[in-house]
Structure 1
């Protein structure tokens, strides 16, 4: 049978079996090619050697369900890409790339969007490089998807794109600038989206003002403090996952006016860089039952708001779990609402906060029924961060519980505003190290060392925090209080029991082996310096020990006790130790040098023992380092004890 007759026969059979309408849709699907160098708009576009050339040609075509539009890798186009048409259920229209080389580049050149869809559905946009800059700041976006009077639009998938250098303004409103924005504009037909997937994209650097946001003009309801005509109409089945957002002027990732959105496995590195207004890393607004999990947020600038995470107002039942927040100017998390709005039933659990600043938990306004449990917080020596900061926003927190949390505080500021909370359930927490003003009462508080494997040793990446596991025999193991509906697992995926006492903190395993101390005679209990060596003033004394009988004494300065330790190259270690000085104006240092990087030390100026700590990574060819206890100057004596060096997990 000839091919043409055979094809006609098959089409007839399939139309009979599957239904003429369905097959007519699938039979019309085509693949179109676009080549910015060798293409020609007079071509058919349906083959690599018959590719189109310009955005103008692509924008003039109404594509059909199942069509593919493939841009040649290594090519570049200037202007706005706005192809027309919509796909269908099971037959989305797909924009992607072909060939070899770098991603196809679409440069919006200062237009409102580089890539744009309007009242279209069943689209997938993949593997494009997108910029939008013409040297002047204005309202603009990288990818901009709009619904106005479209009703419920379905299946918008944005996957694996690289959006950077979007020179937008930094105005904080729904119509502001973003790297990726999906927006519903109010009109005559109430509208929303169903099935949004934003996955695996890189947004930044140099994107102003928001990295990724979903927002809607259909936001008015009592929960959001709106007193106008209620019109809240949330988008559903929203997934924002596996994205890397960096160097954004304002907020990192923000779904708004959604129901049941999931925000997971994202990294936000550097937010609130240029905006000068209140911004956070990952948060939701006017959105119910959002789940924010398995994310990392760090390098947030300024304390307006500057937190890695936020449960904002206009929400019920937001869950923030299994996240890693570190080195954010504004702290770990904001939980807030103004008077007249709603923030009810939020849950913050199994998260890790390391070296966050200003305040770990900020509680602003009359929020209700928040649960904060099984989180682990670490603050280094010298920190002035407030563990909890409660302030008024038309009233103070109405009801909140803190249970089974670990605060590992080498340094800390005061606990602020706690007495203003109307109903505070603070129970079965561990607070170890610094105990500062305002620390709340806790009938089952533990002040024992929780024995974390390598606290403070977390790096970049959610998987870099094994140092926050509990060591075998930790007093935090099995000493927590049972919490109903506890999520079932900890940060590492260990089961959390529902009928037996769990651990305190973010780790619920049976404990990990204690890391080996690589320092020999770190407690000086041999009664001699060996294998430490003395420079000028070091000796071992039987008085002034922190533990045991002996400590090292520096009878004035300059002088030090030093030890060369054997290490592995390209490996991260944490050095800890305790020291004190007889004169607070003459500090003593615990530090490391000759490891392949810049010398690091912790300076201690207290007259009673305080812990110092540094984390360092050896060079590619360095197999040793020199650790020391050093007094730079002055005639007052100083002491060191319990020096420990461990390899980070």
Structure 2
């Protein structure tokens, strides 16, 4: 009893002392204000009306745990912002803004960094506008965080910053230029980071060369192809999320030398813009158990890589899931390895690829045990993209499986060198549309139209309902059960570990209504593709029946046509909305080359009028051509919201 009482009193005293200590830290924390217009370095700096003015003043500060450094909105500074000091787990140092108006702007003016932390930890850097431009390019960064001989540093949180116009060089190495860079430099003490959060930042436009970059000099291990002394010392608890990266010279987002990093809910729009070297949208290197999910990557330039995503070498267990890739010059994903390195047990599942170019999947080098399943791939009419492209990098793929995937191919190039793969499993896939050279055998292949609700209509990661399956699709409930399948599909529907799943990225019940077999029938992709133009057709904003775009025929004769893939001996309904600027110059909507006589409807109204044509394909006809046509005259004609549905 006495012992218990003593222990109780001791605990009470400990909590009282701890609380007093915490209160003391909180009480001693200061807030420092920066005002580039009305501030004065002779001021106290601790109130908004006694703000400091220059970066030199704040750079001379050694901040204490719990301190805040606030820059006034609407202000601007030139040079490097590099305050000293570290926070603690209970009292990080916060750099943010105050006031109203535009974010406070700091231009690094060609220095190595605009915002710089060196061997510091427990920092939150939030809501700043950052550039680094002086009319020339050199090695430079927006935010640059460095660990050199400091052991394990913790809690670097970079949130809500706007970083653009970083005129870096495009040298591809660990010490290259970046919008945001967290770097560990080799020295006498093995060092890394724990708890990196990079969230909600905008990086770009005009950032060279990498958007967001985490890298380390402690990278040498056999997995990365390094034959020297093993010094691999990865950073952990790394989260890169909710960032928008655009118009970067090289790579979009790359964690390197990490363990269990998560890269999610990011958008990369426009990468590999200027570097002239191999780059991809989102990928990891020399990093184990990376999770890359819920991202959108598009507008990648160049076929020097140029893929939206990449499972690169020096890794085990990379997981790429629930992502949307589209319109990348290099394709959807690269899975690669040099001969002396390692790329093992990667998984690529529940992703959607639309209009990616060059090659959907590129397999390069002797990678092992990769699983690719339940992805949905769409290629438009006229595409020459290779669905799978295999090439050697010190050897060919050793083992990979493709299961339960849907390829909807309005156009396609060859399936390239799949016979070079050592152990290749290809089963329960749907390949519909074009069947090009090299297409692999599949004991359970489906070639019937999978009845995607509206293929080619994807607008963003959260606007891809066109890749759901319509009721009656042969791809519903016809896949193979895969162990450890993640438990849910792209859309959040459950995936059973025992019941037969759908093929493709959608595992829900069939959606109601017939599938629209037209591609880009509403022109909301702001492009004519896959329609073809004869003389006068173009896509214009406004003048639409719904949405923001329509097809315009600027005069006659002129037309827009689309080849659609159908089934023989089947009846379809073709609908659309058509109008003319001059009622004396009608516009036609029609169908031909389907195995029956050409049919068309004539519209002479100046407001949108719905036209409908029903037709039945011939016994050996699996395509038709639909069109909007203006025979003559200088008045404009318009069309919008075209659909083809199977009766």
TM-score, normalisation: structure 2 = 0.81
Question: Any idea what the Cα deviations from partners look like across 1:565-598, whole Å, max 9, x if unmatched?
Answer: x984326799996579xxxxxxxxx9987699xx
CA drift of 1:17 comes to 3.7
Corresponding residue of 2:469: 470
8 A contact 1:518–1:644 mirrored in 2: no
8 A contact 2:163–2:203 mirrored in 1: yes
The reply to whether residue 284 of structure 1 matches residue 281 of structure 2 is no
Corresponding residue of 1:236: 236
Q: Relative to structure 1, is the Cα distance of residues 646 and 264 closer, same or farther in structure 2, using a 3 angstrom cutoff?
A: farther
8 A contact 2:378–2:408 mirrored in 1: yes
The aligned length equals: 557
Corresponding residue of 2:18: 18
Corresponding residue of 1:454: 454
Corresponding residue of 1:225: 225
Corresponding residue of 1:136: 136
CA drift of 1:25 comes to 2.6
Counterparts of 1:135 and 1:364, CA distance in 2: 39
Q: Relative to structure 1, is the Cα distance of residues 382 and 595 closer, same or farther in structure 2, using a 3 angstrom cutoff?
A: farther
CA drift of 1:30 comes to 1.1
SS at 1:462 equivalent: coil
Q: Relative to structure 1, is the Cα distance of residues 622 and 23 closer, same or farther in structure 2, using a 3 angstrom cutoff?
A: farther
8 A contact 1:211–1:251 mirrored in 2: yes
Corresponding residue of 1:316: 316
Counterparts of 1:499 and 1:516, CA distance in 2: 29
Q: Relative to structure 1, is the Cα distance of residues 567 and 413 closer, same or farther in structure 2, using a 3 angstrom cutoff?
A: same
SS at 1:419 equivalent: helix
Question: Any idea what the Cα deviations from partners look like across 1:581-639, whole Å, max 9, x if unmatched?
Answer: xxxxxxxxx9987699xxxxxxx9x9888xxxxxxxxxxx9855889636899xxxxxx
8 A contact 1:470–1:512 mirrored in 2: yes
Corresponding residue of 1:65: 65
Q: Relative to structure 1, is the Cα distance of residues 646 and 210 closer, same or farther in structure 2, using a 3 angstrom cutoff?
A: farther
Q: Relative to structure 1, is the Cα distance of residues 445 and 155 closer, same or farther in structure 2, using a 3 angstrom cutoff?
A: same
Corresponding residue of 2:298: 298
CA drift of 1:502 comes to 0.2
SS at 1:334 equivalent: strand
The reply to whether residue 165 of structure 1 matches residue 165 of structure 2 is yes
Matches within 5 A, 1:377-526: 377-459=377-459, 461-515=460-514
The reply to whether residue 570 of structure 1 matches residue 538 of structure 2 is no
Question: Any idea what the Cα deviations from partners look like across 1:376-418, whole Å, max 9, x if unmatched?
Answer: 0000010000000010000000000000000000000000010
CA drift of 1:516 comes to 7.8
8 A contact 1:502–1:508 mirrored in 2: yes
Counterparts of 1:246 and 1:515, CA distance in 2: 37
The reply to whether residue 51 of structure 1 matches residue 51 of structure 2 is yes
Q: Relative to structure 1, is the Cα distance of residues 442 and 220 closer, same or farther in structure 2, using a 3 angstrom cutoff?
A: same
SS at 1:254 equivalent: strand
Question: Any idea what the Cα deviations from partners look like across 1:400-441, whole Å, max 9, x if unmatched?
Answer: 000000000000000001000000010000000000000000
CA drift of 1:645 comes to 1.2
Counterparts of 1:337 and 1:249, CA distance in 2: 24
8 A contact 1:576–1:644 mirrored in 2: no
Counterparts of 1:309 and 1:492, CA distance in 2: 20
8 A contact 1:251–1:272 mirrored in 2: yes
Corresponding residue of 2:253: 253
Counterparts of 1:445 and 1:218, CA distance in 2: 46
SS at 2:169 equivalent: coil
Q: Relative to structure 1, is the Cα distance of residues 129 and 567 closer, same or farther in structure 2, using a 3 angstrom cutoff?
A: closer
Deviates more, 1:23-32 or 1:408-417: 23-32
Q: Relative to structure 1, is the Cα distance of residues 130 and 515 closer, same or farther in structure 2, using a 3 angstrom cutoff?
A: farther
TM-score, normalisation: structure 1 = 0.81
Q: Relative to structure 1, is the Cα distance of residues 625 and 94 closer, same or farther in structure 2, using a 3 angstrom cutoff?
A: farther
Question: Any idea what the Cα deviations from partners look like across 1:301-350, whole Å, max 9, x if unmatched?
Answer: 01000000000000000000000000000000000000010000000000
Q: Relative to structure 1, is the Cα distance of residues 455 and 518 closer, same or farther in structure 2, using a 3 angstrom cutoff?
A: closer
Corresponding residue of 2:36: 36
CA drift of 1:44 comes to 1.0
SS at 1:18 equivalent: helix
CA drift of 1:28 comes to 1.5
8 A contact 2:280–2:306 mirrored in 1: yes
Q: Relative to structure 1, is the Cα distance of residues 51 and 423 closer, same or farther in structure 2, using a 3 angstrom cutoff?
A: same
SS at 2:440 equivalent: coil
SS at 2:58 equivalent: helix
8 A contact 1:576–1:645 mirrored in 2: no
Q: 2:627 aligns with which of 626, 629, 633?
A: 629
CA drift of 1:170 comes to 0.2
Counterparts of 1:24 and 1:576, CA distance in 2: 75
CA drift of 1:511 comes to 1.3
Question: Any idea what the Cα deviations from partners look like across 1:133-190, whole Å, max 9, x if unmatched?
Answer: 0011100000000000010000000000000000000000000000000000000000
Q: Relative to structure 1, is the Cα distance of residues 134 and 622 closer, same or farther in structure 2, using a 3 angstrom cutoff?
A: farther
